[in-house]
Amino acid sequence: MNACAAFANGLNVTLGLVYPEACQVCGEERATPAAGFVGPRCRSQVKFIQPPFCTRCGLPFEGEMTTAFECANCRGQDLHFCSARSAAAARGPVLEAIHRYKYQRALWFEPFLADLLIRRAEPELRREKWDWIVPVPLHPVKLREREFNQAERLALRLGEAAGIPVHTHLLKRTLPTRTQTLLTREERTANVRNAFELRTGRRLRGRRIVLLDDVFTTGATTNACAKVLRKAGAGEVCVWTVARGL
């Protein structure tokens, strides 16, 4: 068991002693620490991303599609990842859990979010050979403020489930960028341009890399990371996130 999983297990035990086993989203139904304090009714509101969706960015399409397609947004962009996939739509209990997990240090939601990610990503990743999972890094200032990198913690859980090594020190964030939340697509791209670098001396020599983040919206952040990885010699980069902004 890795250190992240061991810490999470210890946290679950502690939370189970301190807090009542109630859903931390609705506060009305029973939910255990192992379930991330999210009850069955709130879990039933999760909208998993299902086909048909864009073969590049994973944007779901409402309607009947029998052939592979690439959405208009992807056709107009210079994308450096081969595909991006997400477990669930970023809304309802999923969005609330992510926001509270990231910004309020509500670590008890981690098992819930990790379960969504693993349930969708693990079977897909096992179909091919991937060398590393690489979490999107935080800038040191942001990391000190938040005290943890949610992408790194989720990557460690997925790596353990899928049997893929997690490389947490490959990328570094060199610019303290603004939060992407309220920015337009163009502003997001400009905000993260040149914000990431490969750590000195690293050469990827055709490695196939899974880039991991919590939410995919326009793809600006993960695309900026993928560009750095490809420039350094990565053979292929795919993206996985817990949630997809729609």
**For residue range 137-162, what is the model confidence (pLDDT) as tens digits?**
999 999 999 999 999 999 999 999 99
- Rounded to the nearest angstrom, the gap between the alpha carbon of residue 183 and the centroid of all alpha carbons in its chain is 19
pLDDT tier, 177 (very low <50, low <70, confident <90, very high otherwise): confident
* Beta pairing, strands 171-173 & 236-244: unpaired
Is this structure's pTM higher than 0.85? yes
pLDDT at 67 over 90: no
Which pLDDT score, from 0 to 100, does residue 4 have? 57
Sign of CA dihedral 38, 90, 56, 168: negative
Q: Give the whole-angstrom CA distance, residue 245 versus residue 191.
A: 18
Average pLDDT over every residue of 18-45: 91
Average pLDDT, the chain: 91
Which pLDDT score, from 0 to 100, does residue 181 have? 77
Which pLDDT score, from 0 to 100, does residue 64 have? 77
- Domains of the chain, earliest start first: 3-244 (3.40.50.2020)
Angle of helix 110-125 relative to helix 3-18, nearest 10 degrees, comes to: 150
pLDDT tier, 93 (very low <50, low <70, confident <90, very high otherwise): very high
Percent share of the chain, pLDDT over 90: 76
